[in-house]
Amino acid sequence: MKARLRTVRLELAEPLRISRSTMTARDAVWLAVEHDGVTGYGEAVSSVYYGLDADTLVRLISAIDLERFADPESALEALPSRAVPPAVLAAVESALLDLIGKRDGAPVHRILGTPMAVGVATARTIGITSLPHAAAEARRLVAAGFEIVKVKAGASDAEEDVERVRVIRDAAPHVRLLLDPNGAWSAPQAERLLPRFAALGVEAVEQPLPPGDPDALAALAEKSPLPVIADEDAVSVEDVRRLAGRVHGVNVKLAKCGGVRAALRIAELIEGSGTELMLGCLTASSLGIAPAVQLADRARWADLDGHLLLARDPWRGIGGADGFVRPSSLPGLGVEEVTAHADVA
């Protein structure tokens, strides 16, 4: 097999502010794996939180040396599960599954056991922003067809978070609301705030407490008036095993768990435990979001809007602009590149 890498810059349509940072763009590394005239693609995106810049991603993906394998199946079988960042594993696995699907004329969702392409409603994120802008965004999203809005929280003044949710609820009275402070609150603060957000009709809250103390998160979930979903505290299969049955949900992002096969192991692990699956993502192109869309029918909550935050998405094929993401019936991941960029490695 032959492998190529490209690095591109993904600019956001507008700055996205969360509790710990504001993002305007991120780098993406695209992997192309060719075998017998068929090419599969995968994407890894840079992350300050996970300590991965584009150069590091290129180096780590190159170190896997896919060209030593005779076919994509042997490469998939040999992928390391440890000592390699999950984002790297997810991107390589994506390219190999895309290649297998294209070679066999089958979409990845069928390879993974879902015969029919199933579209699901995805959340759309509103960052920490002014109240008028938040209300206008909520109205715009509902008019476009969105049924779920995720509101970022964790402003320096918690009252600002409450008011932002209030104006969004007033602007979109029937929309499903999710809340995500990205670990910004202390336990006493969360205990005071969550009843107020529940009264505003928030459906669930992601990672209200700083990561690193899953027992504290579980204790909060036990008395919370609304479901608590672990995100930064639920990175690996081992993390989820410790939290299964103790929180109401886990946010599984392929870039933090290691790909679709790891996500399926997590889904199997939590089945029947009382902990439900949320599928999330990082800001990425349609190429980076497509693998998770193949699994979206298995999740109670889908938050697969990373490509919708971009000023220009260089790939297409999973939809989302109307509030619903859909696996394509095309072979592989079902996405196509719509712009061209020069090879850098």
Point out the residues that are catalytic.
Answer: 152, 253
Report the alpha-carbon distance of residue 183 to residue 205 in Å, rounded: 10
The Cα-based distances of 47 to 21, 162, 208, 277, 289 in angstroms read 12, 28, 21, 23, 15
Report the alpha-carbon distance of residue 267 to residue 184 in Å, rounded: 27
End-to-end CA distance of the chain: 16
Closest by alpha carbon to 232, among 262, 206, 254? 206
Instruction: State the amino acid at position 79 in one-letter form.
Output: L
CB 42 within 8 A of CB 87: no
Report the alpha-carbon distance of residue 235 to residue 134 in Å, rounded: 30
| Three-class secondary structure of residue 140 per DSSP | helix
Count how many Cα atoms sit within 13 Å of the Cα of residue 269 in the half-sphere of its side chain: 20
Closest by alpha carbon to 198, among 160, 226, 169? 226
Report the alpha-carbon distance of residue 78 to residue 71 in Å, rounded: 11
Dig out the tokens for 264 from the structure: 């399926």
Phi then psi for residue 299, to 5 deg, are -105, 145
Strands (E) across 226-299 are located at 228-230, 249-252, 276-279
CB 233 within 8 A of CB 259: no
